[in-house]
Amino acid sequence: MNFYIETYGCQMNERDSEEINALLRMEGHFETNSSRNADIIIINTCSVREKPSQKALSAVGRYIKSKNQGKKIVAICGCFAKQEGERLKERFPNIDLIFGPQQIKDLPILLNQVLKERRSIIDTSDTGYVNEEKFLIDKDSVTAFVNITKGCDNFCSFCIVPYLRGREFSRPKTVILEEIKKRVENGVKEITILGQNVNSYYDKHSNTDFVDLLEDIHSIEGLERIRFTTSHPKDVSNKLIMAFSYLPKLCNHIHLPVQSGSDRILSLMNRKYSRQHYIEITKKLRDIRKNISITTDIIVGFPTETDQDFEDTLSLVEEVKFDTAFSFKYSPRPMTIAYRKLRDDVPPKTKEIRLKILQGRIEEIAQEKNRNLEGKVLDVLVEEKSEKFQGQYISRTSCNRVVNIISNEELKGKIVKVKITKALKHSLLGELWKGEHHEESRSSRNIA
Ligand code: SF4
């Protein structure tokens, strides 16, 4: 059968979709990139923010409609499916399958059941995670995501993840290393290690913490770059900060969600760090890697947020000077502590104004930083040919900026030097550099 997967949400969801894809291909199904040709349509959704869940709902509605004219199987999975379960069934009585993040491993069995019994199945139970994770090696991919943890134990008051993805589970080190080695043997040059909070990784069987794991991954021959996301500031240890000084494959980037610059709001969010602590981490990181790119997530309009709290967030942005930031208006998510205990009392208009001011400043800083890269020579990993612009390649700097380069040479999978010729709004333009001068090789403390 042909299957089509539509994914909404974060990188964890992207990775889950990869796993679903691998499982279905191992079962002998074929991937299609058109829902029209698909016999099985799977919508993988996220619940963390309101927008993706709304989009997913309208997609389900659309596909259910087309299903009535054909014989498709329509399934919905991910956090949102787990959260809504029976309610989704009430809304879409013709839906075939609803399953949660912990049921991905059981998908072939669930699909067989749907096909055999021709009835809707809902399975969103808390079964925990298992050690094995399915993945297929795609020979042409240069970058890959590898999960090291699943679930989360932190219970930030605005976040639904611990309720939907379950308690934190660390995959055994041996399994992770084996997966990365296989991917590297097949051409992957850059690995992004994934988890809701990678810093709290701990494999009790081998007594391995996150930095120990990074060291082991670093020693894999043929692997050129390592990224990780997401990091919780409360778990960024000095050991991790120091790792940036002696692990050159660690990319020059850290995504470190701050969420607010106000200590009062941080405490209501149950984040367990102060504004000062956060700023100190960023300073220490920049002491080790002068030009490290620091990106973040910020929520505006959290319950009780005053003008002063918002000013504190703005002043933190000014002080840290993020390379970029994802910012959102607070929206209450069911089950969370904030939903149960705090009134969503910041008026929508105020949230909107604050978000606009914040995003304006973030954008200005980001563009200034991008402009500073013009004329610099940087190493980039060439990921793929651009589908949009003929003759161009899409590449990425160590500091996680996309650089488009024009070249007739076969560059995919190579790390090449490029001179940045122009900073655009969300990316850079560059040209291959054959000269001697090279910014990055000057010092490990000054990698861009
Ligand atoms: S660390 Fe906080 S925000 Fe991140 S997934 Fe866990 S509960 Fe959610």
State the CATH number of the domain containing residue 382.
Answer: 2.40.50.140
Q: Domain span at residue 30?
A: 2-123
DSSP state of 446: G
Give me 48's structure tokens: 């963390």
- Establish if 129 belongs to a structural domain: no
What pLDDT is recorded for position 166? Answer: 84
381 shares its domain with 299:
no
Q: Is-contact 431 405, C-beta < 8 A?
A: yes
- Shortest CA distance to 275 belongs to which of 248, 301, 228, 308? 308
From CA 114, how far away is CA 117, in angstroms rounded? Answer: 5
pLDDT at position 448, please?
46
In a domain, 134, yes or no: no
CA of 321 to the centre of ligand 1 (A): 23
159 and 254 in a common domain? yes
**In contact, 78 and 47? CB cutoff 8 Å:** yes
Q: Which atom of ligand 1 is nearest to the CA of 270?
A: 2
Residue 16 lies in a domain: yes
Residue 331 backbone dihedrals phi, psi, to 5 degrees: -135, 130
Share of the chain above pLDDT 70, in %: 93
* Distance (Å) from CA 318 to ligand 1 centroid: 25
Separation of CA 159 and ligand 1 centre (Å) = 6
The tens digit of pLDDT for each residue in 109-123 reads 889 888 888 888 888
Return the best residue to mutate from 10, 13, 46, 156 for the ligand 1 pocket (most ligand atoms within 8 A of CB).
156
- Which residues neighbour 170 within 8 Å (Cβ) at sequence distance 6 or greater? 148, 149, 201, 202, 203
Please check whether residues 293 and 412 belong to one and the same domain: no
Residue among 191, 315, 210, 207 at smallest CA distance from 262: 315
Residue 27's CATH number: 3.40.50.12160
pLDDT of residue 447: 42
Q: Using an 8 Å Cβ cutoff, are 225 and 398 in contact?
A: yes
Which CATH number is 184's domain given? 3.80.30.20
In this structure, are 245 and 118 located in the same domain?
no
Per run of 10 residues, the mean pLDDT along the chain (length 448 residues) is 88 84 86 88 82 81 76 86 85 89 86 85 74 62 91 93 88 94 94 94 96 98 96 97 98 98 98 98 97 97 98 98 95 92 97 98 96 96 89 94 92 95 92 70 38
pLDDT at 14: 84
* pLDDT given at position 133: 62
Calpha distance 121→118 (Å, rounded): 9
Residues 105 and 156 in one domain: no
Nearest residue (CA) to ligand 1, atom 2: 156
Atom in ligand 1 nearest the alpha carbon of residue 153: 6
Using a 6 Å CB cutoff, which residues line ligand 1? 152, 154-156, 159, 161-162, 196-197, 232
How many Cβ atoms are within 10 Å of 355's Cβ, its own excluded?
19
Q: How far is the CA of 238 from the centre of ligand 1 (A)?
A: 21
Q: How many CB atoms neighbour CB 27 within 10 A? A: 13
In a domain, 390, yes or no: yes
CA of 392 to the centre of ligand 1 (A): 38
**How many domains does the chain fold into?**
3
Q: What is the pLDDT of residue 132?
A: 60
The ligand 1 atom at the shortest distance from the C-alpha of residue 165 is: 5
C-alpha angle 109-47-92 in degrees, rounded to nearest 5 = 60
Three-class DSSP category at 67: helix
Same domain for 227 and 204? yes
Show which of 372, 396, 419 is a domain's final residue: 372
Co-location of 366 and 238 in the same domain: yes
- For residue 271, the ligand 1 atom closest to its alpha carbon is 2
The CA 160 to ligand 1 mean position distance, Å, reads: 8
Q: 256 with 401, same domain?
A: no
Q: What token pair was written down for 98?
A: 């609803």
